[in-house]
Structure 1
Amino acid sequence: MSSATTAVVAGSDEDDIGTALESEGVAVSRLDGVISRPQLEEAGVVTADLYVLTDVGQATTIPIVCDLNDEVRTVVYANRTVPEFVKGQLDIAIDPQLMDASVVADELVD
């Protein structure tokens, strides 16, 4: 990916994946709370390179994101297991206890 990489980080981001992505030169938009389609659009998910979900409780946003942007890479960076219904639309799921945010950000950008 180029230095113009963009990401939408959705959820509380307690493990600082958003900050780690920013330190890799990624332009990050953040969403928290109950996330709607209009909020996703406003945050720039239509043209984003990455959608990083840190709150599995908002997993229903993944099909919406995939509907809005065919090219986006979907990532879950959370301790909880991803629901079955989104696994087919998910590019990668990573447990923060297994891989540090800076390592994940580096891998996502390279």
Structure 2
Amino acid sequence: MKAILCGPDEDGLADALADEGVELARIEGVVTRPALEDAGIVEAELVVLTDVAEATAIPLAKELNPDVRVVVYANQSLPEFAKGQADLAVDPKLLSASVVAEELV
């Protein structure tokens, strides 16, 4: 499985996904269309967003790859415009990175 992790990884989700055999690209900082394209969005099956301040990445990812699953793994709530486009939102306080990675794969 190919995935893109957007944002910081304070909870160790990148390592947990790698442990599950996921091929992972990372985008740190501002998530732009070129950054998503460089990370391989067209082939990606999953985008994980860990910074809700970058919620504009959700419609961008869906525009570039309508079949991609978008998961938000963050403590904060998504802005209204992005709530309907994310496939799943998980609070790291409720589920550990290893559990989330196992379920996503």
TM-score (structure 1 length as normaliser): 0.93
Are residue 66 (structure 1) and residue 62 (structure 2) matched? yes
Unaligned runs of 5+ in 1: none
Q: Match for residue 43 of structure 2?
A: 47
Unaligned runs of 5+ in 2: none
Q: Match for residue 16 of structure 1?
A: 12
Q: Give me the whole-angstrom Cα distance separating, in 1, the residues matched to 2:86 and 2:30.
A: 20
Are residue 99 (structure 1) and residue 92 (structure 2) matched? no
5 Å-filtered alignment, 1:83-98, equals 83-98=79-94
Are residue 26 (structure 1) and residue 25 (structure 2) matched? no
Are residue 35 (structure 1) and residue 31 (structure 2) matched? yes
After superposition, give the CA deviation of every residue in 1:71-98 in whole Å (9 maximum; x if it has no partner): 1000000000011101111100000000
Shift of 1:23: 0.3
After superposition, give the CA deviation of every residue in 1:17-38 in whole Å (9 maximum; x if it has no partner): 1111100000000011112100
TM-score (structure 2 length as normaliser): 0.98
CA RMSD of aligned residues (A): 0.6
Q: Which runs of 4+ in 1 moved over 2 A?
A: none
Percent identity, aligned pairs only, is 56
**When the two structures are aligned, how many residues end up with a matched partner?**
105
